[in-house]
Homo-oligomer: A and B are copies of this chain.
Amino acid sequence: MTRRVTIADVAREAGVSLQTVSRVLNNKGEIRPETRSHILAIIERLGYRPNALARGLATHKTFALGLVMPDIANPFFSAIARGAEEAARQAGYSLLLFNTIEDPAREVEALGTLAAQRVDGLLLCSSRLPDDELRRRLSELPATVLVNRELTEPALSVIRVDNEAEARCAVEFLLSRARRTIAFLAGPVASHGGSLRALGYRRALEAAGIACDPTLVRPCIPHLDGGRSAAHALLSARPDVDAVLCYNDLVAVGALQACSEMGRRVPEDVAVVGCDDIMLAALVTPPLTTMRSDQRRMGDEGIGMLLRAINQPEAGPEKIILQPELVVRASA
């Protein structure tokens, strides 16, 4: 590869100034149609492509957005990514992807490099950072939208599912099916969504006049194996459990496995309910009763909010709280 073609090459070849070429590139200012098409032809012939770095340096705009999430291999997040990429692309933005694998240090690092890259905005999913740390890091970025996480002062745009209602609704359903000893596999301790679900879980139990037994609530890694081992421990310690609400569908499927391994029938002995309704939920045996939320839409609308936050900062932050929907299948 030789030196890349620059705007100067185009200008020289066309016998015009740099500025004129720049004008046709950006459709700015008046230009005679002939010179315009002449320059366009030369651009085409030379295979010129504007250098986004130089452009960004001059304009203070990169048309790049950051996408930070715990785990792109988790179907919940990969669906968000899918929606986000789609929306970003349509608006002419690129997406920088970062995985934090539930590690706060990596999250901080990701936010740092995004700041260095001078992205125009950030879509931050399920941040595990404490409030003040998060505030400090976000102050380096021009605009951010939080997914499944809230933060006040400064108020940020947020899109999330109503995790409290989600858990409450699930527990109410289990109660209506005459389950009385309902456990909760709560996911990562640092998860904002997890604590909200725990809240909804407790509220629903209290409303039914059932005492909340802390030994029925257990944190776990939000994956298959995490759910499986947590369910093992839970069912060993408390054989009387007749229902398990899970942090997400992966955990729920892990619980399903544990039940099968321990000879507990689902749903006869133990009812299992998940959250998210990922594709997998409908395909396991027994099919999973779960709380549905539209991940792709979250990504899509999240980017929409972000673009608005970038282009009309004076409009102030928005907040969208999506109501999950109970999907009853055989597992409960």
The residues of A with any CB-CB pair to B shorter than 8 Å are 1, 47, 49-54, 56-57, 62, 64, 67, 71-73, 75, 78-79, 81-82, 85-86, 89, 94-99, 106, 112-113, 115-118, 140, 142, 224, 253, 279-280, 283-285, 296
Contact = CB atoms under 8 A, between A and B. Distances in A.
A53 B62 contact: yes
Nearest to A99: B85
Contacts of A97: 67, 81, 85, 95-97
A211 to B, nearest CB: 35
A85 B72 contact: yes
B62 A72 contact: no
A280 B53 CA distance: 41
A82 B75 contact: no
A296 B71 CA distance: 13
A57 B53 contact: yes
A79 B82 CA distance: 14
Contact of A96 (B79, B94, B106): B94
Contacts of A112: 49
Contacts of A86: 99
30 contacts: A1-B142, A49-B112, A49-B116, A49-B140, A50-B116, A51-B116, A52-B117, A52-B118, A53-B56, A53-B57, A53-B117, A53-B118, A57-B57, A71-B82, A72-B72, A72-B78, A72-B81, A81-B97, A89-B98, A94-B96, A94-B98, A94-B113, A94-B117, A95-B97, A95-B98, A96-B96, A253-B283, A279-B280, A280-B283, A284-B284
Q: Which 6 A-B pairs have the closest CB atoms?
A: A73-B82, A78-B78, A285-B285, A97-B97, A52-B116, A53-B56
A105 to B, nearest CB: 12
Q: How many copies does the complex hold?
A: 2
A89 B113 CA distance: 10
Nearest to A3: B60
A72 B82 contact: yes
Contacts of A85: 72, 97-99
A224 B49 contact: no
Contacts of A116: 49-52
Given A94-B113, A95-B96, A279-B280, 15 more contacts: A47-B140, A53-B53, A53-B57, A53-B62, A72-B81, A72-B82, A73-B75, A75-B75, A75-B78, A78-B78, A85-B97, A85-B98, A89-B106, A95-B98, A284-B284
Contact of A73 (B81, B98, B142, B280): B81
Contacts of A51: 57, 116, 118
A3 to B, nearest CB: 10
Contacts of A62: 53
Contacts of A72: 72, 78, 81-82, 85
